[in-house]
Structure 1
Amino acid sequence: MSGIGQMEVGETLPVIQLEPVSRLDLIKYAGASGDFNPIHTIDAEAEHAGLPGIIAHGMWTMGNLAKLFTPYLGEGFIETYSIRFKGMVFLGDVVSLEAKLKEKDSEKQIFDVEAVNQDGKKVLAGSLAFAVLKNQPPAAQGS
C-alpha cells in the first residue's frame, strides 16, 4: 500500500501499540488538557471514587488515535471523530490502536477505529472521517 488514498474498503492501517500507560503520561496530559480530576493522577482519590487505581483520561486514549493517521497528513486530514468509550485504561495497560477502511469516495474515507487493551478488551470504538486532499498540479519547472 503506497498511501492512504490507494486503500480499498476492508483494508486496515498498520496497528500501533502504545507504550504501557505511565503516571507521567497522565500527569503530562492533565497539564496539557487542563483536566486535573485527581482520579487520573492520585491513587487515593481514585480509590476513594471506587476505582481500583488511577485511570487514563478518555480523551488521552482518543487523542492517541490520531497517531494512526499522522503518516498520511500529506495526503489529507482528520475531518471528524465519533467515539464511544467502552472501558477504562489503567496504569501499565498496553493499548493497541486500529483502523479499518469502511467507506470511501474521491473526497473522504470513513474508518472504523478502536483501541484495545492487552487483554483484547475494547476500551474505545467509533468512526473517523479522513478528508483526502485533491491532487496538486506539479510545480512549474524553472528555465
Structure 2
Amino acid sequence: MTGGGLILVVEDSEEDTEAIQRALSRSHPLLDLEFAPRSEDVLPRLLDPAARTPDLVLLDLNMPGIGGLALLSSLRAHTACASLTVVVFTSSTASAEEDACYAAGADSYIYKPVNFELFQTVLRGAVDFWLPRAADSTVTAAPPAAPPA
C-alpha cells in the first residue's frame, strides 16, 4: 500500500524516530506521520475530538514515565480508542513482554531490527499489512437493501 493514512508513532528515541521517518518516507511517501515522544501526551491527543484519528499506532514499549504497556492498557480501556490498531514496535525480545502486550490488546508485536535495511523491510511489511485492515475496520457498510415487496 502506498496511499495515505495517518500513523501515530509513540517513540521517545530520536534515533528510532528518525529511522522510522526515513523508512516510511521511502516506502510510503503519501503517509502522514505524527510523532509522540511522551506517552503522557498520547491519550489526551487521541481523545481530542478536533484531532485526526490515526489509522495505525506504532507503540514503543520502553518509554520514560508511562511505559508502552501501561499506555496500551489505557488505550484499550477507553471506548474511543479500543478499536485503534496498535502495533508494538520495540527492541524488546522478551517473550513475557510480548505475551503481556497481546494480553493487553496489542494487534501485533514486532521486534525492531538494528540493521536499517531490515528495519525498513519489517516496518514496510507491518504498515502494508495493518494499514488496510485499520481502514477497513473504520468503514461501516450499510446493510443490504431489502428486496421490493
TM-score by length of 2: 0.25
TM-score by length of 1: 0.26
* Larger strand share, 1 or 2: 1
* Larger helix share, 1 or 2: 2
* Structure having greater relative contact order (Cα 8 Å, sep ≥ 6): 1
Computing the radius of gyration from Cα coordinates, the structure with the larger value is: 1
